[in-house]
Structure 1
Amino acid sequence: MRLADKICIVTGAASGIGRATAERFAREGALVYAADIAAGPRDEDRVFHRKLDVSDLPAWAGLVEEIDGRHGRVDVLFNCAGFVGSYDSLTEIPLDVWHRIVATNQTGVFYGMRSVIPVMRRAGAGAIVNMSSAWGLIGSAGVAAYQASKGAVTVMTKNAAISYAADGIRVNSVHPGLITTPMTDAQDPEISAELVRQTPLGRAGSAAEVANAVLFLASDEASFITGAQLVVDGGLIVH
């Protein structure tokens, strides 16, 4: 039970990587608050669903206040909520689309850390895992807002790792390549096919494979790891 009795928040938990991670955390003994802008299913054993728009700071405050009041701590935060949203270039993407993507992918991570870190500092311990992307480490044509937001998450993670290490808080990022989720199922199949062609392992990954990586970083097995980038991409960025 690698997360026995840990109190965890997972955003973007209604589907895909977020859902797989929430379920994996629960199997490892955690109590999980599975937050998503979409309504989740009924509460399950050790998984409590909450509606949350990660770009809404007061909503974050309400969620953390509820959890802190009930349990007195937050041990793990996995900032997973995010979406690609647009494959347009810097000069072509509509401004409202840019701001919406950044609000979720980048500002949502900032709000999550801003809301949870004071509770973790009080406890003198905590683990935060932020969802970045392989595209938060390398460039690709188009996909401007997504890449900008995920690149920001990569460096923001390092900033938080340095800033709060003395408080016992570890902060790391995960960088998936092409992962089979409802989000990627909905995109142009040729985009996914091209990414598979660029992936040395020759396939897309699964949400469960990313959840395994997040579990490791959230657990005490990673107690001497902070500010790290764990890439789960089948070798995509090795080129």
Structure 2
Amino acid sequence: MTFPLLHPDAFAGKVAFVSGAASGIGASTARMLADLGVRLILADRDGERLAAFAATLSRHDALALEVDVASNASVETAIARGVGHFGRLDFAVNSAGIDLPRCETAQYPAEQWDRIIAVNLTGVFHAVRYQIPKMLACGGGSIVNIASIMGLRAFPGQPAYTAAKHGVIGLTKAAALDHAAHGIRINAVAPGFVETPLLGHLSNEKKKAAASLHPMGRVGRADEITSVILFLLSDAASFVTGACYEADGGYLTK
């Protein structure tokens, strides 16, 4: 039996939770899911920006919620509210993340470490922890966590981000093992440098330098990462769990 990725019945009528949905990979994923007929629970810390984005979607079956993923209570409330609104949860894409200025480990500010870990790692844990029971109640589901090439390779001046993204991959694998027999698939995607607001602070010179790190000679587009996410969410990946898919223009092959 084959499962075409964009089969009309693969996504239509399903419900997805997407964090970091106001911009970047999260927004790209939310937009494509909306185009496929998925009802959306959209989460982002920037409530105003999220509401503006939600209003642009081709479908209006979207609930936009201001959420701080670093807060256990905020995530629990958002997922409960979203599932209460739509009645189920089939997919989740945990994309919320932040980056802060680089600094060598010995001088790295403790408060900056705490913030990166809280959002980029603990935030994913909070989400997965509350998503899984809701999916179990519906007979199964699929979760995709957004990691990074820095979850597989260290980068100078980024001890917290590197540690957090390594942790996301480890968490993904552990959770996948825990629930592989329960109809829940949990995978990760490790993007290379992608043209999103996280790169917005870089000068043109630094962006060119980042592009040169990829054998393809460019950074990625958010929609290119979304395509991998959709594959992992879909039944086309029905025998895939605990995996980390690299979408990095060849970065990690060097």
Same fold (TM over 0.5): yes
* Residue 192 (structure 1) aligned to one of 207, 213, 217: 207
Q: Taking structure 1 as the reference length, what is the TM-score of the superposition?
A: 0.96
CA distance in 1 between counterparts of 2:67 and 2:104 reads 29
Q: Taking structure 2 as the reference length, what is the TM-score of the superposition?
A: 0.90
CA distance in 2 between counterparts of 1:172 and 1:228 reads 5
CA distance in 2 between counterparts of 1:189 and 1:92 reads 27
CA distance in 2 between counterparts of 1:89 and 1:193 reads 23
**Higher mean displacement: 72-81 or 116-125:** 116-125
Partner of 1:106: 121
Q: CA deviation at 1:83?
A: 1.6
Is 2:104 the counterpart of 1:89? yes
Partner of 1:51: 66
CA distance in 2 between counterparts of 1:66 and 1:185 reads 32
Would the aligned equivalents of 1:87 and 1:142 in 2 still touch at CA under 8 Å?
yes
CA distance in 2 between counterparts of 1:166 and 1:219 reads 18
Partner of 2:25: 17
What's the CA shift string for 1:25-48, capped at 9, x where partnerless?
Answer: 111110011110002125442332
Q: CA deviation at 1:125?
A: 0.4
Partner of 1:41: 51
Q: CA deviation at 1:189?
A: 4.1
**Higher mean displacement: 54-63 or 34-43:** 34-43
**Higher mean displacement: 201-210 or 43-52:** 43-52
CA distance in 1 between counterparts of 2:205 and 2:107 reads 21
Is 2:189 the counterpart of 1:174? yes
Q: Which amino acid aligns with 2:26?
A: G
Partner of 1:77: 92
Structure 2 unaligned spans of 5+: 1-7
What's the CA shift string for 1:121-178, capped at 9, x where partnerless?
Answer: 2222010100100111012222111000000001110001100111100000000001
Would the aligned equivalents of 2:75 and 2:126 in 1 still touch at CA under 8 Å?
yes
CA distance in 1 between counterparts of 2:157 and 2:105 reads 7
Q: Which amino acid aligns with 1:154?
A: I
Q: Which amino acid aligns with 1:194?
A: A
**Higher mean displacement: 2-11 or 147-156:** 2-11
CA distance in 2 between counterparts of 1:192 and 1:93 reads 24
Is 2:47 the counterpart of 1:32? no
* Residue 218 (structure 1) aligned to one of 209, 216, 233: 233
**Secondary structure at the residue paired with 2:99?**
coil
Would the aligned equivalents of 2:72 and 2:126 in 1 still touch at CA under 8 Å?
yes
What's the CA shift string for 1:57-103, capped at 9, x where partnerless?
Answer: 11111112112223332111100000221321221110001100100
Would the aligned equivalents of 1:36 and 1:81 in 2 still touch at CA under 8 Å?
yes
CA distance in 2 between counterparts of 1:124 and 1:166 reads 11
* Residue 125 (structure 1) aligned to one of 126, 129, 140: 140
Q: CA deviation at 1:112?
A: 0.1
Structure 1 unaligned spans of 5+: none
Q: How large is the RMSD of aligned CA atoms in angstroms?
A: 1.3
**Secondary structure at the residue paired with 2:112?**
helix
Q: CA deviation at 1:180?
A: 0.4
Flag as ranges the 4+ runs of structure 1 deviating above 3 A. Answer: 188-191
Q: CA deviation at 1:188?
A: 4.4
